[in-house]
Amino acid sequence: MAKMTLDQLRALRAQKQEELETRNVEGKDIQLIVGMGTCGIAAGAKQTFDAIVAALEKHKLANKVVVRQTGCMGLCYVEPTVEVIMPDMPPVIYGKMTSDVAEELVVKHLIEHSLLDNHIFDKPAIDIAKH
């Protein structure tokens, strides 16, 4: 890159800040956890993960949400599964979350605060490490 002007520096900072934001976990109180056991990956969880990240960027939510991956959640019959934990909403595990549903999840659950009725399969099991 050639020498920058003040405006170019500011634009670069804004752009890079967004990129770094996906790495940051502090102050993000919404968690999307994608089940990526063998069953999940076979059912397309990787594509779902990518689609979720893309949808979050599209709706400018990347700075509020942590997307994690985890192992098998036990609901192998409805993979891919996504667990959603956020304030003011009950914790939910959604099933059959193929990549084409990712944007619907982001818009309905995270923005409009309504559940995706067709995809609810369970609520998270009690975490024995905490109780």
Partner 1 sequence: MAYKNFILVCGGTGCESSRSDEIYRNLIKEAESLGVSRDVQVVKTGCFGFCEKGPIVKVLPSESFYVQVKPEDAHDIIAEQVIKGREVTRLLYRKDKKTETTKLEEIEFYQKQFRIVLRNCGVINPENIDEYIARDGYKALERVLFEMTPEEVIAELKASGLRGRGGAGFPTGMKWEAARKAPGDIKYIVCNADEGDPGAYMDRSTIEGDPHSILEAMVIAGKTVEANFGYIYIRAEYPLAIERLKIAIAQAKEYGLLGKDILGSGFDFDIEIRLGAGAFVCGEETALLQSIEGKRGMPRPKPPFPAMKGLWGKPTVINNVETLANVPVVLTRGANWFSSIGTDKSKGTKVFALTGKINNSGLIEVPMGTTLREIIFDIGGGIRNGKKFKGVQTGGPSGGIIVDKDLDKPISYETLTALGSMMGSGGMIVMDEDDCVVDVSKFYMTFCVDESCGKCAPCRIGTKQMQMLLDKITRGQGEEADLAKLEQIGKAMTKASLCLLGGSAANPTLSTIRHFRDEYLEHIHDKKCRAGKCKDLVVYEINPEKCIGCGLCARRCPVTCISGEKKKAHVIDSSKCIKCGECFTVCKFGAVIKR
CB of 74 to partner 1, least distance (A): 14
CB of 114 to partner 1, least distance (A): 26
Given the complex with partner 1, which of 74 and 118 has the nearer CB atom?
Answer: 74
Q: How far apart are CA 54 and CA 110, in angstroms?
A: 14
**Binding residues for partner 1, per CB under 8 A?**
1-6, 9-10, 12-13, 16-17, 19-20, 22-23, 25, 34-38, 41, 46, 49-50, 53-54, 57, 66-71
Beta bridge partners of 93: 83, 122
Given the complex with partner 1, which of 58 and 113 has the nearer CB atom?
Answer: 58
Given the complex with partner 1, which of 117 and 125 has the nearer CB atom?
Answer: 125
CB of 86 to partner 1, least distance (A): 15
Q: In what order do the strands lie in the sheet with 92-94?
A: 65-70, 30-35, 82-85, 92-94, 120-122
**Cβ(28)–Cβ(87) below 8 Å:** no
Tokens of 54: 């893309």
